[in-house]
Chains A and B, each alone.
Chain A
Amino acid sequence: MALITYREALRTALDEEILRDENVVVIGEEVAQYNGAYKVTEGLWAAHGDTRLVDTPISEAGFVGMGIGAAMLGLRPVIELMFWSFAYVAFDQIVNNAGCVRYMSGGLLNVPIVIRGPANGGTNVGATHSHTPENLLANMPGLKVVAPATAYDAKGLLKTSIRDNDPVMFMENTLLYGEKWDVPDTEYLIPLGQADIKRAGSDVSLIAHGRAVITCLKAAELLVAEHDIDAEVVDLRSIRPLDEETVLNSVRKTHRAVVVEEGKPFCGIGAQMASMIQEKAFDDLDAPIGRVASLDAPAIYSPPLEKRQLPDPQRVIEKVLRLS
């Protein structure tokens, strides 16, 4: 075991997969000579050279589409978006080309591409740079959506995503890049579609993905210390495919559920979870399903207020307390 950052975990995953498969190529803005806008790819260009680490112009529709075309011919491009917010200028390429060409060809082709980068608010960069599109993309059959919360998950899920034969939208978080977790020194993979119980508990299920998992873990500590409520934290890890059974088993055990996300509430991941839980575990519920999401406006710039806009442990705790 080594204590490494989320950023280092991603880098190690890329490094290992570049070495493992000659078809893996990392493409994006500033990924090579600049060493990555957020230093995720630091050192990889020096280690692997121009063929495997490719700097692009600021041209997301162009290089995302180029990656999709290359993937159709068998390359495994890992496309870095400096921010997932920038995917919106490449939306046609992602949705129609990565997401639909397999279907429209009757299964004659597939697109083994990973598109990755940070998808989070909380860094005071205003609405344009703070989008969390996991719900938008998970709404598109044909795409897979992954959002790791820890360094351990980031590494294992990225390696699996690169080996996956379908397009995987991999959502990271700049606020987690510098956080450290224990990660094994030996190789491991984490399957997509497998949620993880980050904290076992008996009184309420906190269901989250990405950094909201960390928020839930903090809330759980406070809930047990201050209110004697033992919360279970379920980390979805992957949104699509979705591990419904782990979520439902947790709710069947705790009989209460609060879904927490950093995205906006309308048609959010929490809405999908609430619908699924009430349909499949209605009789197990002792209270209505609670939801905590970002406050329903574009991301505000003002630093103290942006903290209030995103879910924090206090809002999770308040929601839990109102359930019972």
Chain B
Amino acid sequence: MQTVLQSPGESRSTINDHLTKADKIRLLRDMYRIRRFEQTSLKYYNLGRMGGFLHLYSGQEAVAVGTISLLNENDHVITAYRDHGHALAAGMSMNECMAELFGKATGCSKGKGGSMHFFAPDKRYWGGHGIVGGQTPLGAGIAYALKYKRIPGCCLCYLGDGAINQGAFHEALNLAALFQLPVIYIIENNGYSMGTSQKRSSAYKGSLAERAEAYNMAWDVFLGEDLYEVRNRTNIAIERARKTQQPTLLEIQTYRYYGHSVADANAKKYRTSEEIEDYKSNHDPLQIFAKALLDEEVLTDADIQEIDKAAKEEANAAVAFAEESPLPQESDILADVYWEVDNQTDAAKNGSYFFNT
């Protein structure tokens, strides 16, 4: 593991020292909530209750929960299409997320976005973006606005290891470094860009994050299975962004248990079952953090089972909520296209906006 462009001692953060027992339980609970939300959504996807894609985050939970738990009211989040974990970690409810998957009017995006496009600007969560790497310039822009408004916050912008070869990402890195923007790009490296392994998709020396060297940007690479470590290392980048408006490129090594999406027909062909089982058995972020909390005597096995049970029940209740929720109306198809039209402003009084046949 390498860390560059840091002053001596900076690699040690004391951020975890401040966690209370309640904080730790909440962090574990948030990871369980993501795991059970997604497993439940998969069940109902397979029952035909939702359409499109379903990109599951299972195995990567410590990254979203660990990093987002470090944020305050000035900080922002934007991510790609594997966005359920970040959404829940950012404080979105299971109900609004599940209803969105079911295409219901009560969904976070009123059933207009779907799995890849969750949004909650009130929680400073800016999506949920479907095009690989397309969110990375937006992350720079959020950081640009923070700096412009002299708000001492930062933007966490997540992407997968497959996104690092998109041109937009390199343009965003250059702008972030050139303009000194408080954005932290977090490559969640799960080893595969869809069915193509890291070695078959990226040219690199030691790590993917090392590409930041070319932009004279701070970078770090570390394992994402231990929530404490994720918080520890990410907090250094967050403090750098808040205090000096400097960007960082983080590579957090992680693993996804399911295919690229549920529609990934070859999910079990490009990886061995042994590889998947090894991660589930030896590197599972929920198990690792649960064990840490047991060792610390923060909670007992029974407490963990209770947390898990509560997460399952919350997910099932979210399904019930989604099932009972109404579909969007056909008239809703033409709403939320233009702000001025939706708000019936004077600006919207002239001319036609829609050209239906």
Contacts and interface: CB of A to CB of B under 8 A. Distances in A.
A104 B134 contact: no
Most buried by A among B120, B130, B340, B343: B340
Interface in A39-77: 51, 56-57, 59, 61-75
Interface of A: 25, 51, 56-57, 59, 61-75, 89, 92-93, 96-97, 101-110, 112, 141-142, 144, 160, 163-166, 191-194, 238, 240-244, 272, 276
A317 to B, nearest CB: 29
B339 A102 contact: yes
B178 A93 contact: no
A69 B138 contact: yes
B65 to A, nearest CB: 23
B137 interface: yes
B116 to A, nearest CB: 9
Interface of B: 76, 78, 107-113, 117, 119-122, 126-131, 134-146, 148-149, 167-168, 171-172, 174-175, 178, 335-340, 342-343, 345-355
Nearest to A59: B171
A67 B172 CA distance: 11
Given A71-B141, A101-B127, A191-B350, 5 more contacts: A56-B175, A70-B148, A103-B337, A104-B117, A142-B337
Contacts, number: 195
A166 B108 CA distance: 21
14 contacts: A61-B167, A65-B141, A69-B141, A70-B141, A70-B148, A74-B145, A96-B130, A101-B119, A102-B337, A103-B337, A106-B112, A108-B121, A109-B126, A192-B347
Contacts of B149: 73-75
A110 B126 CA distance: 11
A69 B107 contact: no
Given A72-B138, A74-B145, A238 B351 contact: yes
Given A66-B172, A68-B138, A97-B138, A73 B130 contact: no
Contact of B351 (A72, A89, A103, A193): A193
Contact of A72 (B126, B130, B167): B126
A240 B353 contact: yes
A243 B348 CA distance: 11
A241 B350 contact: yes
A292 B345 CA distance: 35
A110 B338 CA distance: 8
A103 B336 contact: yes
A69 B137 contact: yes
B351 A108 contact: no
A71 to B, nearest CB: 7
